[in-house]
């Protein structure tokens, strides 16, 4: 870098702040790095060859195989059932927690926040084996019920995130007006709080659903043989053999995530 330059030259650099040396190339590199593995999965899901790494010709036969595979159908059904149940439960509990915590004492709030935040900080493997221990000790059979309980627990912090953010931005005037006009707690909750929170509740629910559908580690330990979820099934497939089918399921899952994301984007944009 040149050191002795006239002030005018230094002023010239000021415009260059947006084009810092290396920033653009690093950014392009990072974007490619983030997306090339995903693109590879998508492209090779249309490969007719049985050997994953050799491109033969375009084909959708692996999608046909995926759609015919009854194990995959069952796993997908399990994933969606658990995902829906965990989303509804975790969203309801998150709304209750968000509202209740507003007026809770400091100590109670600290305990509650530690419990809510634990899944974000403590390694999932630890909670997964602990939950396995709990279910065995209490006698909860390994299966869908256990899965729903476990998923609900780690979805709560994600469902809570947008709700808490929205609560802290809410305009207080409607609440004050309502209570001045004699509305009771229930009426305020139903007619003001929940409608105002609804975009955040939807965003939280979508986040919870995405987290539940994608979960692998907890499901791996808690699912039991009868209620394998899709990620657990895919993991087994990847481990045993390399079949191009996995690329096809993965692409379908990517598409699904994309739709959920687009949905949440559209909902939030409409509300704004």
Partner 1 sequence: MTATTTPIKKPVKRARPGQSSPKLAYLPIIFLAFAIGVPLLIIVVYSFLEKPSQGTGVKWVFTTENYKALFIQEKLDGTTAFDTRYIKVLWTSFYYSLITTVVTLVLSIPVAMWIATREARKRTLLVALVTLPFWISILIRTYGMRQIIADEGPIGKFLGLFDISWSILYSPPATILGLIYVFLPFMILPIYASAERFDFRLAEAAYDLGAKRMTVVRRVILPSIRPGIISGVALVFIPALGSFLQSDMLGGGKTNMVANVIANNFGQARNWPFGSALAVLLIILTLLFVLIIQGIAQRRGDKVELV
Position among 70, 121, 139, 181 found at the interface with partner 1 (CB under 8 A): 121
**Residue number, 54 or 68, with CB nearest to partner 1:** 54
Contact between 178 and 188 (Cβ < 8 Å): yes
What SS3 class is residue 58? strand
> Is position 125 an interface residue for partner 1 (rule: CB under 8 A)?
yes
Residues 58-77 that bind partner 1 (CB under 8 A): none
Residues 25-64 that bind partner 1 (CB under 8 A): 26-27, 30-31, 33-38, 40-41, 44, 52-54
The least CB distance from residue 134 to partner 1, in Å, is 5
Number of residues that bind partner 1 (CB under 8 A): 105
Contact between 261 and 107 (Cβ < 8 Å): no
Contact between 87 and 73 (Cβ < 8 Å): no
> Is position 107 an interface residue for partner 1 (rule: CB under 8 A)?
no
Q: How far apart are CA 83 and CA 3, in angstroms?
A: 60
Q: Which stretch binds partner 1 (CB under 8 A): 60-68, 69-77, 80-88, 131-139?
A: 131-139
Q: How far apart are CA 183 and CA 186, in angstroms?
A: 8
> Is position 105 an interface residue for partner 1 (rule: CB under 8 A)?
yes
> Is position 122 an interface residue for partner 1 (rule: CB under 8 A)?
yes
The least CB distance from residue 159 to partner 1, in Å, is 10
> Is position 143 an interface residue for partner 1 (rule: CB under 8 A)?
no
Task: Return the closest-CA partner of residue 251 out of 38, 35, 92, 97.
Answer: 38
The least CB distance from residue 23 to partner 1, in Å, is 4
Q: Which stretch binds partner 1 (CB under 8 A): 56-64, 66-74, 80-88, 206-214?
A: 206-214
> Is position 221 an interface residue for partner 1 (rule: CB under 8 A)?
yes
Contact between 91 and 181 (Cβ < 8 Å): no
The least CB distance from residue 235 to partner 1, in Å, is 6
Q: 151 Cβ partners below 8 Å, 6+ apart?
A: 82, 83, 85, 86, 90, 212, 215, 218, 219
Give exposure, 20-49, as e/b (b: 16+ Cβ within 10 Å).
eeeeeeeeeeeeeeeeeeeeebbebbbbee
**Residue number, 33 or 58, with CB nearest to partner 1:** 33
Q: Which stretch binds partner 1 (CB under 8 A): 64-72, 80-88, 148-156?
A: 148-156
Q: 211 Cβ partners below 8 Å, 6+ apart?
A: 154, 155, 158
């Amino acid at each position: 870098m040149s050191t002795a330059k006239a002030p005018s030259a230094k002023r010239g650099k000021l415009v260059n702040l947006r084009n810092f040396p290396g920033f653009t190339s690093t950014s392009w590199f990072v974007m490619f790095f983030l997306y090339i593995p995903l693109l590879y999965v998508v492209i090779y899901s249309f490969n007719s060859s049985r050997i994953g790494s050799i491109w033969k010709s375009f084909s959708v036969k692996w999608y046909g195989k995926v759609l015919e595979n009854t194990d995959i159908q069952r796993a997908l059904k399990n994933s969606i059932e658990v995902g829906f149940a965990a989303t509804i439960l975790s969203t309801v509990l998150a709304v209750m927690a968000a509202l209740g915590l507003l007026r809770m004492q400091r100590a109670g709030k600290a305990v509650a926040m530690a419990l809510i935040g634990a899944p974000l900080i403590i390694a999932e493997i630890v909670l997964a084996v602990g939950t396995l221990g709990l279910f065995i000790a209490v006698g909860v059979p390994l299966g869908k019920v256990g899965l729903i309980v476990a998923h609900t627990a780690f979805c709560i912090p994600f469902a809570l995130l947008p709700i808490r953010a929205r609560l802290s931005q809410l305009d207080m005037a409607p609440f004050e007006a309502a209570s001045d006009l004699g509305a009771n707690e229930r009426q305020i909750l139903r007619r003001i709080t929940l409608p105002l929170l609804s975009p955040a509740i939807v965003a939280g629910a979508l986040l919870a659903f995405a987290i539940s559908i994608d979960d692998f580690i907890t499901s791996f330990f808690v699912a039991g043989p009868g209620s394998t979820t899709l990620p657990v099934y895919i993991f087994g497939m990847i481990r045993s053999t390399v079949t191009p089918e996995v690329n096809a399921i993965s692409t379908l899952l990517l598409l699904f995530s994309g739709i959920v994301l687009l949905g949440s984007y559209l909902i939030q944009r409409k509300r704004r």
